[in-house]
Amino acid sequence: MSDAVLLDAIWNADTVYRPDLFAGKTALVSGGGSGIGRATALLLARLGARVVITGRTQEKLDRVVAYAASRGVTLHGFAANVREHEQVLALYERVEAEVGLPDVLINSAGGQFPQPAIEFSPKGWNAVVSNNLNSTWFMMQRAAQRWRDTQRPGSIVNVIVVTERGMPGVAHTVAARAGIVGATRTVAVEWAPLNIRINCVAPGLTASEGLAVYPPEAVAEFPRANPMKRPGTPLEIAQACVFLAAPSASFITGEVLTVDGGGKLWGELWLAGRPDYYRD
Ligand SMILES: CCC/C=C/C(=O)SCCNC(=O)CCNC(=O)[C@H](O)C(C)(C)COP(=O)([O-])OP(=O)([O-])OC[C@H]1O[C@@H](n2cnc3c(N)ncnc32)[C@H](O)[C@@H]1OP(=O)([O-])[O-]
Ligand SMILES: NC(=O)C1=CN([C@@H]2O[C@H](COP(=O)(O)OP(=O)(O)OC[C@H]3O[C@@H](n4cnc5c(N)ncnc54)[C@H](OP(=O)(O)O)[C@@H]3O)[C@@H](O)[C@H]2O)C=CC1
């Protein structure tokens, strides 16, 4: 499916949310140049939010901004590498100066490469841990600091992976995301007095650009990932992010919402390919 068709599908899809749900609100979405982050940013924009997307590649952000403009909506695309703390601080300064302090933060930036864990190099391990644990932490802590300083409420949604059963081929990312679950549960309590809610969405296999890094033998088995025998769509994950970010989840904090088509109950994912030992 071409990018234009994908974007139109997101823009025109039915949603149960009312069109002005986020009117007057500002949302910051990391990883907003593609996949789940892009779908969430566009859905938030459809629901009336002022939206800033960030990611490392300005051109990807510009394409989303241009698409929204073609639909009459202004999005802002500010590039940053969110695993660099200084860049996160600078990003918040720019967002506040040019758009306004976000009310909602969606952390969808992240990713990993598939490899048997026994082969991980220290550099590869550090890259993935930094890209998924540090980046999300820097973003959520800065949001909380600014909400504390301005005495404003806020809501954070961290997009992670399903961690309960582990996930062979991506142990580094499972470790990093389990760290985010622990941090989320902990600060849900520390930050409740600040009127901040924080939750995670754990997608199962989702048909996004990010799947391009997986080998053909892993991709061939993707239909076995869940009882629905299909990947989720970025919009299906986006709808869950919006549910947790909005007042629909006003009594939910420190929670992990799994959106995996039942993959925790039945299914297998061998992201670096299935070892012979696990063949019949
Ligand atoms: C349901 C579950 C499915 C989940 C799906 C998704 O999440 S999809 C959606 C998510 N989207 C994505 O996952 C997007 C795709 N993923 C990525 O962009 C990268 O995996 C990244 C997140 C590490 C990029 O971070 P970065 O810019 O820092 O990376 P870098 O390129 O500079 O590499 C740093 C070091 O890592 C090592 N190393 C790297 N690759 C491999 C490899 N193939 N093999 C072995 N090792 C590898 C290597 O040591 C390298 O250093 P070197 O030896 O080169 O000096
Ligand atoms: N697709 C799937 O099956 C699943 C995805 N997830 C998770 O969902 C999240 C979104 O993934 P998805 O949309 O599918 O994949 P994408 O690869 O399409 O999206 C990830 C986005 O994050 C951005 N990004 C990565 N690293 C950084 C960084 N250091 N600083 C700023 N931006 C960064 C990328 O842009 P750029 O490279 O330009 O920086 C990219 O746009 C990820 O955390 C992913 O691991 C979880 C489970 C399943």
The answer to whether the CB of 279 is under 6 A from ligand 1 is no
List pLDDT tens digits, range 153-182: 999 999 999 999 999 999 999 999 999 999
Question: Whole-angstrom Cα distance, residue 1 to residue 122?
Answer: 37
Ligand 2 centroid, distance to 70 Cα (angstroms) = 24
Question: Whole-angstrom Cα distance, residue 73 to residue 150?
Answer: 28
pLDDT score, position 260: 98
pLDDT score, position 280: 77
**Ligand number with the minimum distance to the CA of 87:** 2
pLDDT score, position 92: 98
The answer to whether the CB of 188 is under 6 A from ligand 1 is no
Residue nearest to atom 46 of ligand 1 (CA): 124
Q: Phi, psi (5° rounding) for residue 27?
A: -125, 140
Domains assigned to the chain: 3-278 (3.40.50.720)
Question: Whole-angstrom Cα distance, residue 19 to residue 162?
Answer: 30
**Closest alpha carbon to 13 in 233, 209, 207, 231:** 233
Q: What predicted TM-score, i.e. pTM, was given to this entire model?
A: 0.98
Question: At 84, which helix (H) or strand (E)?
Answer: none
The answer to whether the CB of 120 is under 6 A from ligand 1 is no
Cβ proximity of 103 and 25 under 8 Å: yes
The answer to whether the CB of 199 is under 6 A from ligand 2 is no
**Closest alpha carbon to 71 in 99, 41, 100, 97:** 41
The answer to whether the CB of 89 is under 6 A from ligand 1 is no
pLDDT score, position 209: 87
Cβ proximity of 180 and 158 under 8 Å: yes
List pLDDT tens digits, range 181-195: 999 999 999 999 999
Q: Which residues of the chain have pLDDT under 50?
A: none
Ligand 2 centroid, distance to 110 Cα (angstroms) = 4
Distances (CA, A) of 79 to 54, 58, 61, 128: 5, 5, 7, 20
pLDDT score, position 262: 98
Dihedral angle sign, alpha carbons of residues 223, 224, 229, 230: negative
Cβ proximity of 75 and 50 under 8 Å: no
The interface predicted TM-score (ipTM) is 0.97
The answer to whether the CB of 219 is under 6 A from ligand 1 is no
Ligand 1 centroid, distance to 112 Cα (angstroms) = 4
